[in-house]
Structures are given as C-alpha cells and as structure tokens.
Amino acid sequence: MTPRDLLDVFVRLAGLLFLLYGAFDLYYVVVKLAGLPTTSKVSAGEIARFVALWWLAGFMILRNATWIVHVAYRLDRTSTSNPENPQ
C-alpha cells in the first residue's frame, strides 16, 4: 500500500467517524424527545442541528475522499504513480 492509499483510508475513516458521532448525538435527541431524565442542559433542537452538521460533513468527506487525497498530493500529470491516469 502506498502512502496515498493510506491517506485515502484515513480520510474515509474520518468521514465514517463523523457519521458515527452524528448517530451518537441522535441517541441524545431521542432520549430528550422521549422525556427521559438527562444531565444535559442542551435542547434537543440544538443537538439535532449538530447531528445534521456531523452527517453532512461525514457524507461530504466520504463522497469527496478521492478528491481530498488528490488535493493533498497534487500529483503532476506526467506522474505514472497514479494507476487511474497512466500517462
């Protein structure tokens, strides 16, 4: 595995972690809306906004992971280390 491939894996893992953190926060929204006692003083609406933010960021990272890696490496067009572009 090349360093570029490893970066791609880590970028996708970061996107997945954002999605999982959003799901974790969604649990608190459900608990608050169910009326169960919690120690949190944050409203369910505010937590729901953060769920949307985490999920949006996670989906954007997962969808654009290849582009993020490309920007990070900025390969020139004459490089043959990119198997998708063997020029």
pLDDT at 79 over 80: no
pLDDT at 82 over 60: no
Say which range, 8-17, 21-30, 72-81, has the weakest mean pLDDT: 72-81
Model pTM score: 0.76
Across all residues in the chain, what is the average pLDDT?
88
The closest alpha carbon to 11, from 55, 50, 62, belongs to 62
What is the C-alpha separation between 63 and 52, in angstroms, rounded?
16
Token pair of 41 as six digits: 């003083």
